[in-house]
Chain A
């Protein structure tokens, strides 16, 4: 069967890979105070944009109806070879990540029941997270601790907690809003939202998270609906919980690809990105470009020097006259988050929108 576990390299020290993941938010002046408590996940150098005071976000936290860890994170994941993943159909959604030359796919059908996988990629302890109600898949470094599902939501978004300090971290914000680590930003890396067939064609020798999670669930059943075809919660225009801020520029569940810097946020609809191939989402002079990978039907974000020319071409993305694949532009990667519009606009009111 070709099973391998992701516990290999267990002696790797949690904090030793601080710079290992590409796409971490850039350096700046908002590092957490030196007096910040020890433990917990490692801090990014600079916090992404927060449109609200933390008090306002805390006031928006509501119970999601489940107990703390009532949605159990996968703490001991098992990865199988792509050739062994007979439980996946080509059209099934997976979240893909490549680290250290190894590709790993996380099936949405598994994560919809667990929301967090505490894994180790290329020796780095990470958490791969997914919130069904906001349609967001994001990756974070976790250091020596693990993340769990608090059972709370804010703006319909998963509120994680770290098991070292019990601080609370709304997934989309990537910043603790309460607890001993309040204000600490997480080191973030990006995932590809694509389908199993597309991902396997790109990475035939990669691994995939198996259904041997240590828990029993009906992994073929999504309690919210379906993505293929889009049904239930994912298709309806209303939400279970009111957003922090409503914005009717787009239907609530329309998917956008968003980026945020320390100073602001911007987003493009997935349909526009697919049509244009490359979209410039610069924020306050910081040049960020989103490139569409046609083969994966997925987005890649980059921080681009001001003088570079980046355009869509017949065979990928043209950078300063040379065609390159969207997945390998010669720039620093920047997390580009796919999200339902209501969730993005709720966290980032006034976001620049390219529709």
Chain B
């Protein structure tokens, strides 16, 4: 296990030393948080003007859960046409997942371009970030899944409540699978 962990870390760092690997990492790091925050309703279009509004007592509000692995926003930043609800812990979750997505993209790309590695496993790694995008229970029910055409999406709620940690574990697993093997 320790060997595999060391091999995974070496594989990730090796991928990040390459320009194409760094570009893929940055793509994940920058691209995933907006997707995640939009899926939970914290990033939206349609704002008018520019404004910043902060709630009273933001510290205690930031720790108040709204659903599993999501917390109450403490500020709203509007920069026409984009509005962002700032929930520090949600942003933290998005960034952790984004780092993992970026690493998966980087090692996946390197694996794909390397004749010695398995391309299928590499491309599958970054897809592990998808489950966290489907939680989207912004109010009642999994609105994202319903919007994607899944009828009776409420039946999936017992599974979806674990989608965010599952996404993290799957992303880690993807790294172990691909980066660890590349060593």
Interfacial residues, chain A to chain B (CB-CB below 8 A): 62-67, 69-72, 112-113, 115, 131-133, 153, 156, 158, 214-218, 220-221, 223-224, 232-233, 238-242
Contact = CB atoms under 8 A, between A and B. Distances in A.
B56 interface: yes
Contact of B65 (A70, A215, A239): A70
Given A216-B75, A240-B152, A133 B140 contact: yes
Interface residues of B, number: 39
B46 A71 contact: no
Contacts of B153: 240
B157 A70 contact: no
B160 to A, nearest CB: 7
A224 B138 CA distance: 9
A113 B83 CA distance: 16
A63 B139 contact: no
Given A62-B154, A67-B65, A216 B46 contact: no
B151 A66 contact: no
Contacts of A63: 157-158, 161
B142 interface: yes
Contact of B67 (A70, A112, A133): A70
A64 B137 contact: yes
A224 B136 CA distance: 11
Contact of B137 (A66, A69, A220): A66
A112 B139 contact: yes
B74 interface: yes
A153 B74 CA distance: 27
Contact of A218 (B44, B67, B142): B44
A64 B140 CA distance: 5
A112 B41 CA distance: 13
B151 A71 contact: no
Contact of B140 (A66, A217, A220): A66
B152 to A, nearest CB: 6
B10 interface: no
Contacts of B68: 67
A132 B76 contact: no
26 contacts: A63-B158, A64-B154, A65-B142, A65-B160, A65-B161, A66-B137, A71-B66, A71-B140, A131-B140, A132-B139, A215-B72, A216-B53, A216-B55, A216-B76, A217-B76, A218-B76, A218-B85, A220-B44, A220-B46, A220-B83, A221-B83, A233-B146, A239-B152, A240-B153, A241-B154, A242-B152
B56 to A, nearest CB: 7
A64 B138 CA distance: 10
Given A64-B141, A238-B151, A220 B47 contact: yes
B73 interface: yes
B1 interface: no
Nearest to B86: A216
A72 B67 CA distance: 12
Nearest to B55: A216
Given A218-B44, A223-B143, A65 B55 contact: no
